[in-house]
Chains A and B, each alone.
Chain A
Amino acid sequence: MSYKVKILSEDKTIAAMENELLADKIQKAGINLSAYCSKRGLCGKCFVEIVDGKLPPLKGREEFLLKHKKLSKNYRLACMYKIKGDLSIEIPEESIMQEMFILKTGIESPIEFDPPVKKYHLQLKKPEISFPYSIMESFEFYFRDKNLIIPLNLLKTLQDIIERSSFNITAVVYNDNEILNVEQDNTLNKNYGIAIDLGTTTVVVELVDLNTGESIDIQTAANSQMKYGSDVVSRISFAFSDPKNLDELRNSILKTLNQMIKQILDKNYIDSSYVYEIAVAGNTSMNHFLLGMPVKSLALAPFNPVFTRLPELPERYFGFKMNKYGKVYIAPNIKSFVGGDVSAGLIASDLANRKGNYLFIDLGTNGEIVLKTGKKLVVTSTAAGPAFEGMNISCGTLAVPGAIYKAEYKNKLDFFTIGDKSATGICGTGLIDLIAIFLDKGKISPKGTIKNKRKKIAVTDNIHITQKDIREMQLAIAAIKTGIRMILKEYHLKKEELDGIFIAGAFGNYLNIKNSMRIGLLPQIDDERIIFIGNSSLAGVKALLLSKPAREKIDSLIKKIQYLSMATNPLFQEYFIEALEFKEINH
């Protein structure tokens, strides 16, 4: 017997068979119905109004939830409603999951909002002498899960909590099968997570509402490990020169993170006990330092890490300022120095699902390049060195207020500084603009030689570019160029066949596309096919914090992603040397 289900709010009619679940049918019709509790009748987020049709008696938690949400009696949970006749329904806006835009630039990369940490407000049944069931059973009753995990140390405290709150509690559930904590009364609206982009130079912490996925605040600080070396290799050699040093590195970053977490929570009047999960994306080395993992294997070729993916870890391994039963998720490392930051970038850019051929380039100290072609994903990493971040440059600086980040030539040289402050130095994007301008003006030869006698070009009275600065930039640019050329060659692709190039990294939108092509950093393709995605590591780790499916996706991606080694490829040297000249190479 086939029935008709009219969805008035969407102006759609669908056919359904006897006993089919209304929630399934709505989702199959392409409507993004909320399924926060995986259709177990627990969360009350999929209420629909039954305008016309059978109104079955309230089941399970429906009555409790209806009362709490102050809905009229003709609302039912779509995940509990079995179709037994023709229906007309309205789906309220609250029951539809809003699409998440993970990237600030608004490029679509669909993330299914399904955080591992979920809260349920429950009125537990009081045990009676005739039926003296256990506390565990009272939870199992709701979660209908015989494998429900309640850690012993939590279980020991439950009787008190439950009695104090007259059985009116909020359960914090992890991955649908583990009770992380039980809070008194209704604390549904206090549910937070923190996403961390753990960079070699810069650390960014984002406070996120785990109920909505909304960002509450963002905080940036320098990585305090800088004092042990500005690049990962010097930190690695510091770490293995003495066993105590690894602990020192670890404690240093934990201290920075805890200070940042405390600040961002205090600023927003949020108690750290309501933070139940922290997700971290760092490069392979940073992930190893964070966990105190030995880094000896990262120090020498073949540069294999100790771990790629890890299960979610309990807070006590870290001592983070968060709920003591909270979890810590580390975005998985891929291969060698290609780490969790790139995993996060893959999620943020949705690279694997794009149709056509795409490159993902993370322009950092370690440049990572991922090619998506057909069903293949291939990654390579290339040591660009810190020049793009303004390091090892005589008047270089990080992208901080006062840094020249942009330059133009219209009759005369104009430059722009971050925050409009007086110029204190030049950051990576500024260097690229200036070099492009000086090439056009003939002040630098395509081979990189400064043509004047002083071997120095003044930008302001006390800021200049030296011959050595140009050499540093040539090396950094050549590393990226060579990586792009080798990965395209390996898969017999021409630049014209690329549907797009995602540019991630600290450069953000400051990078001038034309100038980048002028100096040969990027292949010359349509401007429109260059897509800036900013800090994709942060965007991606936020997605991983908010989505179990995203975690499953990255786990399966890192299993299939291929690694192209550049150092051992006999072509590398030849390509690299050719790439040193400021011009495009033929792809």
Chain B
Amino acid sequence: MTEIAVNVEKGDSASVKEFVRKALSQNLQAEEILNNGLIKGMDSIGKKFKNNEIFIPEVLIATRAMKAGMDMVRPHLTESKNMYKGKIVMGTVKGDLHDIGKKIVSMILERVGYEIIDLGIDVPREKFIGIVEKENPDVVGMSALLTTTMSNMREIVEALERANLRNNLKIIIGGAPITQSYADEIRADGYASDAASAVTLVKSLLKHKN
């Protein structure tokens, strides 16, 4: 199990696959492999990224290794115990073309069990509203890297309120110029400074559901 976590951290897809195969052949529970192996490795990656110990490329390689392991574990997960934890819509707001940070957050959330609908970059308000109406997600995550585009987040929150879509929906925001006080000011439910914090944040916001 430790080997799985360590190799996810290393980003060594081949070794991850090998150890997952071994674990499955030893009749270990798929849930256990997932939680104590793959997710543990990913959590550790998130923490190291937060502390600047590793950088974007290592995170991406680790998520790739994680995915390789996941694909093998998934068929063994029982339907009832499936790891589905909730649905999250992610997007970078209109006027802003920054992608990487939002993508890392999306990938890590996806790996730890959330369904992600990534709307991409330069996403207009109407698109956020439309997708929330259609998909009824648990969380909307918005990203902005420019002080000039962050004000669009407020407009989206207000539009969701006006459209009466806000009641069962959690809104989280992030990006270089964003702060907790800005999140409070525009009535978002939470702010996270990095991918690891975003996972913790989403977990706590959706506690009542799981």
Contacts and interface: CB of A to CB of B under 8 A. Distances in A.
B141 to A, nearest CB: 18
B181 to A, nearest CB: 17
A448 interface: yes
B107 to A, nearest CB: 12
Contacts of B148: 233, 236-237, 240, 299-300
A526 to B, nearest CB: 29
A474 B58 CA distance: 13
B97 A567 contact: yes
B121 to A, nearest CB: 8
B149 A467 contact: no
B103 interface: yes
Contacts of B53: 449, 455, 467
A577 B60 contact: yes
B100 interface: yes
Interface string B67-105: 000000000000000000000000000111101100100
In the complex, which of the residues B94, B96, B97 has the most CB atoms of chain A within 10 Å of its own CB atom?
Answer: B97
A301 B96 contact: yes
Interface string B44-61: 000000011111111010
A447 B146 CA distance: 27
B52 A573 contact: no
A125 B190 CA distance: 82
Interface string A221-247: 000000000000110110010000000
Nearest to A300: B95
B52 A471 contact: yes
A447 B103 contact: no
A448 to B, nearest CB: 6
B122 interface: yes
B147 interface: yes
A580 interface: yes
B57 A580 contact: yes
Contact of A299 (B52, B60, B95, B122): B95
Interface string A465-487: 00110010010000000000000
A455 B57 contact: no
Contacts of A237: 146-148
A24 interface: no
Nearest to B100: A573
A578 interface: yes
A78 to B, nearest CB: 58
Interface string A563-577: 000011000010011
A581 interface: yes
Contact of B99 (A299, A471, A573): A573
Given A237-B148, A300-B148, A573-B103, A580 B95 contact: no
B54 A447 contact: yes
B173 to A, nearest CB: 17
The binding surface of chain B is classed by DSSP as loop
A447 B57 contact: yes
Contacts of B103: 573
A233 B52 contact: no
Contacts of A474: 55
Interface string A154-170: 00000000000000000
A467 B52 contact: yes
B54 A301 contact: no
Contact of B100 (A468, A471, A576): A576
A577 B59 CA distance: 10
Interface string B138-169: 00000000111100000000000000000000
Contacts of B122: 301
Contacts of A573: 99-100, 103
B55 A471 contact: yes
In the complex, which of the residues B52, B60, B94 has the most CB atoms of chain A within 10 Å of its own CB atom?
Answer: B52
A234 B52 contact: no
Given A447-B54, A471-B52, A301 B100 contact: no
B147 A233 contact: yes
Given A299-B95, A301-B96, A573-B99, A448 B55 contact: yes
Given A233-B147, A233-B148, A300-B95, A577 B56 contact: yes
A240 B95 CA distance: 15
Given A236-B148, A573-B100, A577-B100, A301 B55 contact: no
A234 B176 CA distance: 12
Contacts of A576: 100
Contacts of B56: 577, 580
Contacts of B99: 573
A234 B57 contact: no
A468 B94 contact: no
Contacts of A567: 97, 121
Interface in B103-121: 103, 121
A578 B58 CA distance: 10
B99 to A, nearest CB: 6
B95 A577 contact: no
Contacts of B100: 573, 576-577
A422 B106 CA distance: 47
B47 to A, nearest CB: 14
B97 A568 contact: yes
A447 B55 contact: yes
A479 to B, nearest CB: 12
Interface in A184-213: none
A474 B60 CA distance: 16
Nearest to A478: B56
Nearest to A295: B148
A580 B55 contact: yes
Nearest to B147: A237
Interface in A550-568: 567-568
Contacts of B121: 567
A300 B57 contact: no
A471 B54 CA distance: 9
B58 A447 contact: yes
A530 B36 CA distance: 53
A468 B49 CA distance: 11
A383 B125 CA distance: 25
Contacts of A578: 57
A237 B150 CA distance: 10
B13 to A, nearest CB: 17
In the complex, which of the residues A234, A240, A448 has the most CB atoms of chain B within 10 Å of its own CB atom?
Answer: A448
Given A237-B147, A467-B52, A301 B97 contact: yes
Given A447-B57, A474-B55, A577-B100, 4 more contacts: A300-B148, A467-B51, A567-B121, A578-B57
Q: Which 7 A-B pairs have the closest CB atoms?
A: A300-B95, A299-B148, A567-B97, A237-B147, A467-B52, A237-B148, A301-B95
12 contacts: A233-B146, A299-B146, A300-B149, A301-B96, A447-B57, A447-B58, A449-B54, A467-B53, A474-B55, A568-B97, A577-B100, A580-B55
